[in-house]
Amino acid sequence: MANNRGPAVRAEGLVRRIAAPEGEIRLLEGVDLSIAPGEAVAVLGPSGSGKSTLLALLAGLDLPDAGRVWLEGTELTALDEEGRAAARAGRVGFVFQQFHLLPHLTALENVMLPLELAGRRDARRRARELLEAVGLGARLRHLPRQLSGGEQQRVALARAFAISPRILFADEPTGSLDRATGERVAGQLQRLREEAGTAMVLVTHDEGLAARCDRRLLLESGRLRPLP
């Protein structure tokens, strides 16, 4: 799904180190990565290898010890926290393993929220359409605690795609789901991504989900390498 525009996300020489009782741990050692518009890239690797750390750096949620990150040509690593948030606004979506739905809002209201913050007058209609697209048209008025884990994750997917993001960052989006539900969510994620033309950076242990992506990369010993 890539095209001839510049990269959606680009990273050069990312280094991240953390202190530990046994000494300094080097999670990332000069990681380079370029993701084309519309491309889906899965990052796999053993637990503790730094996958979530890499995702946070690519999204500008954290800063590296060294290296640079660009989001559609804007250098995130040259901006302060407020500037990075402004760079993400309106073009970046997030899906996390733990859903992060607001417990006092219904499914419909959770999906409406980013649309209302963006000033969309059609927030209710758009949110309803997205929830129907992920099979939750009959759950619009349910609170998160009234939904199963798979249903909550589908609400989170609908919310992430509400603003038609050009880039989506997903951290173990099927990690807390059973296999059948995870496969259903993966299929809906792929369909929404293809419809919106969204680039996606996905951290996962789920080989089935990774197989749906255009590229699979392994993060191990601080380095990224392609997988067949």
User: pLDDT band at residue 3, thresholds of 50, 70 and 90?
Assistant: very low
* CATH number given to 9-91+165-227: 3.40.50.300
User: pLDDT band at residue 223, thresholds of 50, 70 and 90?
Assistant: very high
Predicted pLDDT of residue 138: 96
Is pLDDT at 2 greater than 70 in this prediction?
A: no
Q: Which residues contact 82 (CB under 8 A, 6 or more apart)?
A: none
Query: Letter for the amino acid at 10?
Result: R
Q: What are the extents of the domains in the chain? A: 9-91+165-227
Is pLDDT at 81 greater than 90 in this prediction?
A: yes
Predicted pLDDT of residue 5: 65
Q: Which residues contact 39 (CB under 8 A, 6 or more apart)?
A: 1, 2, 8, 199, 200, 214, 215
Predicted pLDDT of residue 215: 97
Q: What is the per-residue pLDDT across 138-185, written as a single tens digit (0 to 9) for each?
A: 999 999 999 999 999 999 999 999 988 999 999 998 888 888 888 888
Global pTM value? 0.89
Is pLDDT at 59 greater than 70 in this prediction?
A: yes
Is 90 in contact with 118 (CB distance < 8 Å)? yes
Report d(CA 79, CA 63) in Å as an integer: 10
Is 177 in contact with 150 (CB distance < 8 Å)? yes
